[in-house]
């Protein structure tokens, strides 16, 4: 009887231990599944974005305001430094792969959120490498300064050069010209010509840059040709170029006009000599007849 009671008590204790273990496991699972502050806030932002997708057009919906407010709250909370880097990576990848959710009016807050998440050199280096791995020239142009800082120059500028068919903004072309001006002067000139055709609104800046390159190398004839033909070019500010090169412009235009006048005189003289020769040949032909 005593032995049976002992065994029964042992069973009760064993069952109690199992119950305690299950409770601890359940509690652990709950803790594991609990979202961090950033995850919880991001989940609410995504919920708003999903709601925005249902609208036929985007125009100051409350979900946009809510997303801006949530983003500001995340940035100002001071909690981002304690967030797990894997969570930051997932959110960053979502933002960049969706072009900062710009179609929902969220470009500025999403850009600010990404910048706030990656602060240390180690973090910013990861962001630069991730941006550079994307096949997205727009995102690369947005983070151009970051990529220049953490990506090898040869790799960075080589990529830009291999994608010059893309409609880059003028600062990117200027950056590339600056890089090649000392390494390969002729290539820098080629890029300037591409920039001139691609960046119509920046043609004046491109010409000023190219003229400085030519004048620094004493390539006066090529510079003179550009100065002399400014009036034939479109989408340029001649007055701005005159202000940048007051003396050179005056001398070049004067020389160019003089050369054009001499060229016209030579052509007239050649035509006169041709007509004289033709008359002589006709006269000889008649006499021989």
Q: What's the confidence (pLDDT) of residue 211?
A: 95
Instruction: Supply the range of the domain harboring residue 108.
Output: 35-117
Q: Can you tell me the distance from the alpha carbon of 77 to that of 80, in angstroms, rounded to the nearest whole number?
A: 8
147 falls within a domain: no
Is the model's pLDDT at 124 over the cut of 70?
yes
Stronger pLDDT, 16 or 164, i.e. the higher one: 164
Domain co-membership, 166 together with 278: yes
Q: Can you tell me the distance from the alpha carbon of 143 to that of 219, in angstroms, rounded to the nearest whole number?
A: 36
Chain centroid, CA 122 distance in Å: 22
Stronger pLDDT, 20 or 232, i.e. the higher one: 232
Q: What's the confidence (pLDDT) of residue 13?
A: 45
Q: What's the confidence (pLDDT) of residue 263?
A: 79
Stronger pLDDT, 63 or 256, i.e. the higher one: 63
Alpha helices for 134-169 (secondary structure H): 137-142, 144-150, 153-162
pLDDT tier for residue 177 given thresholds of 50, 70 and 90:
very high
Domain co-membership, 191 together with 289: yes
The residue-averaged pLDDT of 244-262 equals 86
Q: Which of the listed residues 117, 132, 162 is the one where a domain comes to its end?
A: 117
127 falls within a domain: no
Domain co-membership, 179 together with 248: yes
pLDDT tier for residue 30 given thresholds of 50, 70 and 90:
very low
135 falls within a domain: no
236 falls within a domain: yes
Q: Can you tell me the distance from the alpha carbon of 198 to that of 184, in angstroms, rounded to the nearest whole number?
A: 21
Q: Which of the listed residues 64, 94, 117 is the one where a domain comes to its end?
A: 117
- Per-residue pLDDT of 35-54, as tens digits, reads 899 999 999 999 999 999 98
* Structural domain total, the chain: 2
Q: What's the confidence (pLDDT) of residue 237?
A: 94
Per cent of the chain over pLDDT 70 is: 87
117-124, long-range: CB < 8 A, 24+ apart: 117/80, 117/83, 117/88, 117/91, 117/92, 118/88, 118/92, 119/80, 119/81, 123/85, 123/88, 124/149, 124/150
- For the chain, give the mean pLDDT: 85
240 falls within a domain: yes
Asked whether 201 and 169 are in contact (CB, 8 A), the reply is no
Domain co-membership, 184 together with 235: yes
> Could you identify the residue written with the tokens 């032909």?
285
E strands, 87-229, are: none
Q: What's the confidence (pLDDT) of residue 29?
A: 46
pLDDT tier for residue 253 given thresholds of 50, 70 and 90:
confident
Q: What's the confidence (pLDDT) of residue 7?
A: 53
pTM as predicted:
0.63
Domain co-membership, 163 together with 230: yes
Stronger pLDDT, 267 or 207, i.e. the higher one: 207
Domain co-membership, 107 together with 169: no
Residue 88: exposure state from Cβ atoms within 10 A (0-12, 13-18, ≥19):
buried
Of 132-141, 216-225, 242-251, the least confident: 132-141
244 falls within a domain: yes
Helix (H, G, I), strand (E, B) or coil at 237: coil
Collect all residues with Cβ–Cβ distance below 8 Å to 185 and sequence separation of at least 6: 213, 217
The number of C-alpha atoms within 13 Å of 259 and in the hemisphere containing its C-beta is 11
């Amino acid at each position: 009887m005593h032995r049976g009671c002992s065994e029964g008590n042992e069973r009760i204790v064993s069952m109690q231990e199992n119950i305690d273990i299950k409770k601890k496991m359940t509690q652990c699972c709950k803790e594991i599944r609990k979202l961090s502050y950033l995850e919880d806030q991001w989940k609410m932002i995504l919920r708003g974005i999903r709601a925005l997708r249902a609208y036929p057009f985007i125009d100051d919906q409350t979900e946009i305001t809510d997303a801006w407010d949530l983003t500001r709250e995340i940035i100002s909370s001071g909690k981002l430094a304690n967030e797990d880097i894997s969570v930051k990576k997932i959110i960053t990848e979502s933002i960049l792969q969706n072009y900062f959710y710009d179609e929902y009016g969220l470009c500025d807050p999403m850009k600010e959120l990404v910048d706030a998440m990656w602060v240390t050199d180690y973090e910013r280096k990861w962001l630069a490498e991730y941006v550079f791995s994307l096949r997205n020239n727009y995102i690369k142009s947005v983070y151009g300064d970051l990529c220049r800082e953490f990506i090898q120059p040869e790799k960075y500028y080589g990529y830009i050069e291999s994608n010059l068919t893309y409609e880059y903004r003028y600062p990117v072309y200027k950056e590339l010209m600056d890089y090649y001006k000392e390494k390969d002067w002729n290539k820098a000139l080629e890029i300037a010509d591409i920039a001139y055709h691609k960046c119509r609104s920046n043609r004046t800046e491109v010409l000023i840059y190219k003229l400085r390159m030519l004048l620094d190398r004493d390539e006066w004839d090529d510079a003179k040709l550009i100065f002399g033909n400014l009036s034939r070019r479109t989408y340029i500010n001649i007055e701005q170029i005159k202000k940048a090169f007051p003396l050179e412009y005056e001398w070049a235009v004067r020389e160019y006009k003089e050369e054009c006048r001499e060229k016209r005189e030579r052509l007239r003289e050649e035509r006169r000599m041709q007509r004289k020769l033709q008359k002589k040949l006709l006269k000889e032909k008649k006499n021989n007849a």
